[in-house]
Amino acid sequence: MQKKTVETSYTIYNFDELTVSYQNLINKAKEQVTKAYAPYSGFHVGAALELENGEVFAASNQENSAYPSGLCAERVAMFFANAQFPEVPVITIAIAAFTKGNFMLEPITPCGSCRQVLLETEMRFEKDINILLYGTQSIFLIKNVKQLLPLCFEKSSLQG
């Protein structure tokens, strides 16, 4: 028998400790929660991402009464950015959530499907994506998607 340990590393910041670029991206993610269509869950999520060329894309979650036909904010933003600039890597994504009249105190993390899409994009461009997770009491900065999905299913998994 062999035992292995998987660890996730991230840094915790207050908003004022972040770079102006990161602050702007978080603010764009926060703005997007007002555009979410979430009549079923009441859970509004906004995401904003920056491409290597400086372009910024922001989106919100879009629910549908025929679950799981809706789509998370992270995937809406990522798919739109990749469709507009298919050859430009994503360098950072910021995510914020709002429910019951308030932003979350602690950050939320992307769902499994979003983690897989973020990982595919990271691998596609062979470039780490910084992940900013916003909470009013703390902000997590994660240096790449594999920190969120360490035992991942990737292209090499298909080759057996």
Q: Which amino acid is at 154?
A: E
Q: Are 61 and 103 in contact (CB under 8 A)?
A: no
The residue type of 103 is: F
Name the active-site residue from 31, 74, 87, 126: 74
Q: 66-78 b/e with 16+ CB inside 10 Å = b?
A: eeeebbbbbbbbb
Told to judge if 74 belongs to the known catalytic residues of this protein, a careful annotator would answer yes
Q: Are 133 and 77 in contact (CB under 8 A)?
A: no
Catalytic residues, which ones? 74
